[in-house]
Protein backbone atom coordinates (compact mmCIF):
# COMPACT_ATOMS: atom_id res chain seq x y z
CA UNK A 1 0.00 0.00 0.00
CA UNK A 2 1.55 3.35 -1.04
CA UNK A 3 2.42 5.80 1.77
CA UNK A 4 -0.15 8.48 2.50
CA UNK A 5 0.64 11.74 0.79
CA UNK A 6 1.31 14.61 3.19
CA UNK A 7 -0.16 18.10 3.05
CA UNK A 8 1.30 20.61 0.62
CA UNK A 9 2.66 23.92 1.90
CA UNK A 10 -0.47 25.72 0.68
CA UNK A 11 -2.73 23.18 2.40
CA UNK A 12 -0.80 23.58 5.64
CA UNK A 13 -1.11 27.37 5.52
CA UNK A 14 -4.84 27.12 4.76
CA UNK A 15 -5.42 24.63 7.59
CA UNK A 16 -3.50 26.76 10.08
CA UNK A 17 -5.34 29.93 9.03
CA UNK A 18 -8.69 28.15 9.44
CA UNK A 19 -7.61 27.02 12.90
CA UNK A 20 -6.76 30.59 13.90
CA UNK A 21 -10.10 31.88 12.62
CA UNK A 22 -12.16 29.15 14.27
CA UNK A 23 -12.27 31.24 17.46
CA UNK A 24 -11.36 34.72 18.66
CA UNK A 25 -8.34 33.80 20.73
CA UNK A 26 -4.75 34.97 21.16
CA UNK A 27 -1.99 32.35 21.20
CA UNK A 28 1.68 32.14 22.02
CA UNK A 29 3.92 30.20 19.67
CA UNK A 30 4.16 27.32 22.17
CA UNK A 31 0.37 27.12 22.37
CA UNK A 32 0.16 27.06 18.59
CA UNK A 33 2.75 24.30 18.38
CA UNK A 34 0.82 22.29 20.95
CA UNK A 35 -2.80 22.87 19.92
CA UNK A 36 -2.74 23.66 16.22
CA UNK A 37 -0.34 20.86 15.34
CA UNK A 38 -2.82 18.30 16.66
CA UNK A 39 -5.85 19.93 15.07
CA UNK A 40 -4.17 20.52 11.69
CA UNK A 41 -2.06 17.34 11.73
CA UNK A 42 1.12 19.33 11.13
CA UNK A 43 4.41 18.54 12.93
CA UNK A 44 5.09 21.08 15.74
CA UNK A 45 8.57 21.83 14.38
CA UNK A 46 6.99 23.28 11.20
CA UNK A 47 4.60 25.59 13.03
CA UNK A 48 6.93 28.55 13.54
CA UNK A 49 7.78 28.77 9.84
CA UNK A 50 4.11 28.52 8.84
CA UNK A 51 2.99 31.12 11.39
CA UNK A 52 5.67 33.57 10.24
CA UNK A 53 4.62 33.01 6.62
CA UNK A 54 1.02 33.93 7.50
CA UNK A 55 2.24 36.96 9.44
CA UNK A 56 4.29 38.09 6.44
CA UNK A 57 1.22 37.74 4.21
CA UNK A 58 -0.77 39.87 6.65
CA UNK A 59 -3.24 37.06 7.35
CA UNK A 60 -2.14 36.57 10.97
CA UNK A 61 -1.51 39.46 13.34
CA UNK A 62 1.45 39.55 15.71
CA UNK A 63 2.06 41.76 18.74
CA UNK A 64 4.41 41.69 21.68
CA UNK A 65 3.00 41.57 25.21
CA UNK A 66 5.84 41.93 27.68
CA UNK A 67 8.38 39.32 26.62
CA UNK A 68 5.88 37.16 24.75
CA UNK A 69 4.71 37.34 21.15
CA UNK A 70 0.98 36.82 20.66
CA UNK A 71 -0.61 35.69 17.40
CA UNK A 72 -4.22 35.84 16.22
CA UNK A 73 -6.38 36.07 13.11
CA UNK A 74 -10.01 37.14 12.87
CA UNK A 75 -12.01 36.56 9.65
CA UNK A 76 -12.78 40.25 9.11
CA UNK A 77 -9.04 41.04 8.99
CA UNK A 78 -8.62 38.82 5.94
CA UNK A 79 -11.59 40.45 4.23
CA UNK A 80 -10.21 43.90 5.07
CA UNK A 81 -6.80 43.01 3.64
CA UNK A 82 -8.33 41.69 0.42
CA UNK A 83 -10.41 44.85 0.06
CA UNK A 84 -7.34 47.03 0.62
CA UNK A 85 -5.44 45.02 -1.99
CA UNK A 86 -8.30 45.40 -4.46
CA UNK A 87 -8.47 49.17 -3.86
CA UNK A 88 -4.70 49.49 -4.25
CA UNK A 89 -4.85 47.56 -7.52
CA UNK A 90 -7.54 49.88 -8.83
CA UNK A 91 -5.39 52.91 -7.99
CA UNK A 92 -2.41 51.30 -9.71
CA UNK A 93 -4.53 50.51 -12.77
CA UNK A 94 -5.58 54.17 -12.99
CA UNK A 95 -1.93 55.27 -12.80
CA UNK A 96 -0.91 52.76 -15.48
CA UNK A 97 -3.70 53.99 -17.73
CA UNK A 98 -2.34 57.52 -17.52
CA UNK A 99 1.21 56.29 -18.16
CA UNK A 100 0.03 54.21 -21.13
CA UNK A 101 -1.83 57.19 -22.60
CA UNK A 102 1.20 59.42 -22.09
CA UNK A 103 3.49 56.88 -23.77
CA UNK A 104 1.10 56.45 -26.69
CA UNK A 105 0.78 60.22 -27.09
CA UNK A 106 4.55 60.62 -27.13
CA UNK A 107 4.85 57.86 -29.72
CA UNK A 108 2.36 59.65 -31.96
CA UNK A 109 4.26 62.91 -31.52
CA UNK A 110 7.48 61.20 -32.60
CA UNK A 111 5.90 59.86 -35.81
CA UNK A 112 4.97 63.41 -36.79
CA UNK A 113 8.54 64.69 -36.59
CA UNK A 114 10.30 64.90 -39.98
CA UNK A 115 13.82 65.35 -38.63
CA UNK A 116 15.30 62.00 -39.68
CA UNK A 117 18.22 61.82 -37.27
CA UNK A 118 19.23 58.32 -36.16
CA UNK A 119 17.44 58.75 -32.82
CA UNK A 120 14.28 60.16 -34.41
CA UNK A 121 14.18 57.43 -37.06
CA UNK A 122 14.66 54.77 -34.39
CA UNK A 123 11.82 56.19 -32.33
CA UNK A 124 9.55 56.24 -35.37
CA UNK A 125 10.36 52.60 -36.10
CA UNK A 126 9.75 51.85 -32.44
CA UNK A 127 6.33 53.49 -32.56
CA UNK A 128 5.32 51.56 -35.67
CA UNK A 129 6.46 48.21 -34.31
CA UNK A 130 4.91 48.75 -30.89
CA UNK A 131 1.46 49.70 -32.20
CA UNK A 132 0.15 46.13 -32.03
CA UNK A 133 1.70 45.66 -28.59
CA UNK A 134 -0.10 48.74 -27.27
CA UNK A 135 -3.38 47.40 -28.69
CA UNK A 136 -2.71 44.14 -26.85
CA UNK A 137 -2.02 46.06 -23.65
CA UNK A 138 -5.31 47.90 -24.09
CA UNK A 139 -7.13 44.58 -24.44
CA UNK A 140 -5.44 43.22 -21.33
CA UNK A 141 -6.31 46.39 -19.43
CA UNK A 142 -9.98 45.99 -20.34
CA UNK A 143 -9.94 42.42 -19.07
CA UNK A 144 -8.20 43.63 -15.94
CA UNK A 145 -10.98 46.11 -15.19
CA UNK A 146 -13.68 43.48 -15.67
CA UNK A 147 -12.01 40.84 -13.51
CA UNK A 148 -13.34 40.27 -10.00
CA UNK A 149 -10.56 37.88 -8.97
CA UNK A 150 -7.64 39.49 -7.13
CA UNK A 151 -5.25 36.83 -8.46
CA UNK A 152 -6.35 37.50 -12.06
CA UNK A 153 -5.95 41.21 -11.45
CA UNK A 154 -2.35 40.74 -10.34
CA UNK A 155 -1.51 38.48 -13.30
CA UNK A 156 -2.95 40.92 -15.82
CA UNK A 157 -1.33 43.88 -14.10
CA UNK A 158 2.06 42.14 -14.23
CA UNK A 159 1.61 41.61 -18.00
CA UNK A 160 0.77 45.29 -18.42
CA UNK A 161 3.86 46.43 -16.48
CA UNK A 162 6.13 43.96 -18.29
CA UNK A 163 4.83 45.10 -21.67
CA UNK A 164 5.73 48.71 -20.90
CA UNK A 165 9.20 47.55 -19.81
CA UNK A 166 9.53 45.60 -23.10
CA UNK A 167 8.71 48.71 -25.08
CA UNK A 168 11.25 50.80 -23.17
CA UNK A 169 13.87 48.02 -23.53
CA UNK A 170 13.32 47.90 -27.30
CA UNK A 171 13.65 51.67 -27.60
CA UNK A 172 16.83 51.54 -25.49
CA UNK A 173 18.40 49.03 -27.90
CA UNK A 174 17.38 51.05 -30.94
CA UNK A 175 18.51 54.46 -29.71
CA UNK A 176 21.42 53.60 -27.44
CA UNK A 177 19.81 55.49 -24.56
CA UNK A 178 19.61 53.81 -21.16
CA UNK A 179 16.28 52.52 -19.87
CA UNK A 180 16.61 54.89 -16.89
CA UNK A 181 16.97 57.87 -19.24
CA UNK A 182 14.00 56.77 -21.32
CA UNK A 183 11.78 56.12 -18.30
CA UNK A 184 12.67 59.57 -16.99
CA UNK A 185 11.87 61.08 -20.40
CA UNK A 186 8.52 59.28 -20.53
CA UNK A 187 7.84 60.14 -16.85
CA UNK A 188 7.56 56.46 -15.91
CA UNK A 189 8.56 54.99 -12.52
CA UNK A 190 11.96 53.29 -12.57
CA UNK A 191 10.38 50.21 -10.97
CA UNK A 192 6.70 49.29 -10.90
CA UNK A 193 5.40 48.40 -7.44
CA UNK A 194 5.15 44.65 -6.83
CA UNK A 195 1.74 43.75 -5.49
CA UNK A 196 0.88 40.41 -3.98
CA UNK A 197 -2.68 39.45 -3.15
CA UNK A 198 -3.65 37.88 0.14
CA UNK A 199 -3.92 34.11 0.25
CA UNK A 200 -7.46 32.96 -0.56
CA UNK A 201 -9.15 29.81 0.61
* For range 12-22, the mean pLDDT: 89
Q: Which domains does the chain have, with CATH numbers?
A: 9-73 (1.10.10.10), 79-185 (no CATH)
Nearest-10 crossing angle of helices 75-111, 118-146: 150
Say which residue, 121 or 15, is predicted with more confidence: 15
Question: What's the angle, vertex CA 70, arms to CA 69 and CA 72, rounded to 5?
Answer: 145
28-32, 106-110, 150-154: least confident range: 150-154
Euclidean distance between CA atoms 47 and 44, whole angstroms: 5
**pLDDT number for residue 111:** 56
**pLDDT number for residue 200:** 42
Say which residue, 124 or 40, is predicted with more confidence: 40
Confidence of residue 46 (pLDDT cuts 50, 70, 90): very high
- 4: CB partners within 8 A, 6+ apart: none
pLDDT digits (tens, 9 = 90+) for 56-77: 888 888 888 888 899 988 877 6
Amino acid sequence: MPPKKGLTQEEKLSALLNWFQSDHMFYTLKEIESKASKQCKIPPMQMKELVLALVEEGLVEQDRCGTTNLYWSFPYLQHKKQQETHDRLNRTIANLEMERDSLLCRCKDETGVRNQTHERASKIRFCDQSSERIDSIQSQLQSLKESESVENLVTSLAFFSDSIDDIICYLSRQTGLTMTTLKTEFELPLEFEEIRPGTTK
